[in-house]
Structure 1
Amino acid sequence: MSAAIEIHRPDPGAEYFFAEGCFILETWNRHDDPEVSIARARLTPGTTTRLHRLVATTERYLILQGSGHIALDDGTDRYVGPGDLVHIPAAAPQRITNSGETDLVFLAICTPRFRPEAYQDIDPAPHD
């Protein structure tokens, strides 16, 4: 017998502001599915996330709308827009900037699933 197909609809009212500097809506992050998590991230225009890394967690940003720049390991950055997928290896320093005039919205897909203890803020700038 095969497993049942499940449809999950996240509650838009459950979006929260994360210390990284963006709004997060957890789409899929469950103990019974430890292989992956999916969250919708949203940055307002002119916003840059804090420089951070995820320990033992690979992350992918799938850009849904808006435009921005993703910081690369070599100190440069690169433009990203709708349809782009950014692959971020585990422990790689990362930050993204919304350089557009509308919200930058993307899916953050983590393997294994995101857990708060994997997040490490490495930004030299003080928290607001």
Structure 2
Amino acid sequence: MEEIVFRPGEGREYYTDERCHILESWNDPRDPHVSIARARVEPGVTTRWHRLAGVTERYYILAGRGRVEIGDLQPREVLPGDVAVIPPLARQRISNTGPDDLVFFCVCTPRFVPEAYEDIDD
């Protein structure tokens, strides 16, 4: 792998069916071991239940306040600086419980590919 410095443009953020905004900070086939996306959930919104096949995901909370639900764990409050670790195939969703946007990095290993995503919301 060669050296790279990449700056994602703010205009590249998009809204997903999962009910959150995503900015792909880093997701490149030249670096198959990791991807990084910035997620933004608006106040009062809960993302859809979903899971990832073959991918461990970590949420690193940057701003806002929320409640994360992972697998069979009890829901947990998350604040800036918190990290939530989501193993492959664990069901997951996150709610914004505060008055401002909930913003966090999603760090996936190996890198996220759309084929790994499964919507399991009833």
Structure 2 distance, partners of 1:91, 1:98, is 23
Structure 2 distance, partners of 1:23, 1:55, is 21
> Within 5 A, what are the aligned runs for 1:7-46?
7-46=5-44
Deviation at 1:5, TM superposition (A): 3.7
Q: How many residues align?
A: 122
Structure 1: 4+ residue segments shifted above 3 A:
none
CA spacing shift, 1:76–1:12, aligned 2, 3 Å: same
Q: Does 1:71 align with 2:65?
A: no
Deviation at 1:73, TM superposition (A): 2.1
Q: Deviation string for 1:89-120 (max 9, x for gaps)?
A: 01100000000000000000000000001000
Out of 45, 58, 61, the residue aligned to residue 59 of structure 2 is 61
C-alpha contact 2:70 2:86 (8 A) present in aligned 1: no
Q: Does 1:103 align with 2:84?
A: no
Taking only the aligned residue pairs, the percentage that are identical comes to 55
Q: Does 1:120 align with 2:118?
A: yes
Q: Which amino acid aligns with 1:51?
A: W
Normalising to structure 1: TM-score of the pair?
Answer: 0.91
Structure 1 distance, partners of 2:73, 2:110, is 27
Q: Which amino acid aligns with 1:54?
A: L
Q: Deviation string for 1:59-106 (max 9, x for gaps)?
A: 000000001000132263000000000000011000000000000000
Number of the residue aligned with 1:86: 84
Structure 1 distance, partners of 2:110, 2:49, is 21
Over aligned residues, Cα RMSD in angstroms?
Answer: 1.2
Gaps in structure 2 of 5+ consecutive residues: none
Q: 3-state DSSP class of the match of 2:92?
A: coil
